Amino acid sequence: MSDLLRRSAVLGIAIAALCSPIRSPEHQVLSALPDSPSLHELDLSGSADSTADPLQFSPAELEQLERRFGVHGPQHQLAQLVTRGMDRIEPVRNNTLSQLRQLKPVILRQCRLQEVNPMLVTAILFDEIQHSKPGEGLPFIAHSGLVRTLGPAQLGITELIHQNRLPEQPSVLEVKWARNQLLNPAFNVEVLVGKIHRLKGELGLRTDQPLNASRSVDDAKAIATLTYLHNGKLDYPQRVLSYMQDPALHGLIYSSRRSRLTTLI
C-alpha cells in the first residue's frame, strides 16, 4: 500500500472519530469493567405493556442501562446525518450485501448453536459494515490505537474479556492477539452472537430460544435493548429493527440458491 493511501486511511479514521462520541481510552476500559448486571427491573422477561412502543425507553430504564452498561444516549446529529446519507448510496449497500453473503454460513451456524435470531445478527452486521470508517480494517490501523472497535460487528477487546476469552488484565501480546482475531470476519461474527447470547442472560431473558420482534412487544423491546447495549446510541435500535424487515436481507439469509438442471438431449 502506498504512503498516500495509508495517510488517507488514517486521515479518514481521524475525521470519523471527531463525529463519534468520546469514549474512555482502552486501558481504562480494560481496568474498570462493569459488574455483570441483572436488569429484571426493566421488565424485559414478559411483563411489557402490549401498547407500549418497544423503541421508547423510560428515564428510569435509561438510567439503569447507563449505570450498569455505560451506554451514552443519542448519536450526534452530524453523525446521524452521515449515517442516513450512507444508507442511500447504492454501491455501498451492494458491497455490504456481498460481504454478508460470504458471512451467511457462519451467521447461521453460530445462531443455531446459541439460539440467536439470525436476522438480528444480520441487521447489526449490515449496519456496522455499511457505516464502517475507511481503512479501519487494516491491521496497522487496528494496532495503532486509533480505533477501539474492530471487525464487521465493531467489537472491542472488552467483549472477549466478558466471554472469558481473555483475562481481565490482558498482556500486550494478548491484546495484539485479540485485535488480530477480531479482524477475522468469522471469529468476529462468532463473538457477536456470543455477545447477544450473553446479554440475553444478563437481562433475565430466555437463552434457549431466539427473540422474534414480530411475535410480541416483549421480544421487540428485548431486541431494542440488546441493540442499544451493543451500539450505545438511542437511534440504533430503530435502524436495526428496520433492517430486520429488509426484503433483501431476508432473502439473503432465508433463501437458498439451486443450481439449474441441464437436460440431456
State the pLDDT at residue 30: 36
Inside any domain, residue 152? yes
pTM attached to this predicted model: 0.77
Q: Which domain holds residue 203?
A: 3-27+57-254
State the pLDDT at residue 264: 45
Q: Is the pLDDT of residue 77 over 80?
A: no
CB atoms within 10 A of CB 167: 11
Q: Is the pLDDT of residue 260 over 70?
A: no
Q: Position 181: which residue type?
A: Q
Inside any domain, residue 125? yes
State the pLDDT at residue 48: 52
Which residue did the predictor score with more confidence, 143 or 84?
143
- Range with the poorest average pLDDT among 10-19, 61-70, 104-113, 160-169: 10-19
Inside any domain, residue 52? no
**Is residue 20 very low, low, confident or very high in pLDDT (cuts 50, 70, 90)?**
very low
pLDDT, tens digit, 9 for 90 and up, residues 144-203: 888 889 999 999 999 999 999 999 999 999 999 999 999 999 999 999 999 999 999 999
Inside any domain, residue 246? yes
State the pLDDT at residue 169: 96
For 263, counting Cβ atoms within 10 Å of its Cβ (0-12 exposed, 13-18 middle, 19+ buried), the class is: exposed
pLDDT, tens digit, 9 for 90 and up, residues 128-148: 999 888 788 889 898 988 888
Q: Position 184: which residue type?
A: N
Inside any domain, residue 35? no
State the pLDDT at residue 177: 97
Q: Is the pLDDT of residue 44 over 60?
A: no
Q: Which residues of 68-97 are buried (b: 16+ CB within 10 A; e: fewer)?
A: bbebeeebeeebeeebeeeeeeeebbeebb
Mean pLDDT of 41-47: 51
Inside any domain, residue 205? yes
Which residue did the predictor score with more confidence, 29 or 181?
181
- DSSP assignment of 120-179 equals HHHHHHHHHHHTPPTTTTSHHHHTTTS-S-BTTTTB-HHHHHHTTSS-SS--HHHHHHHH
Instruction: Indicate which CATH number applies to the domain containing 118.
Output: 1.10.530
Mean pLDDT of 67-84: 59
State the pLDDT at residue 50: 52
Average model confidence (pLDDT) for the chain? Answer: 79
Domains identified in the chain, total number: 1
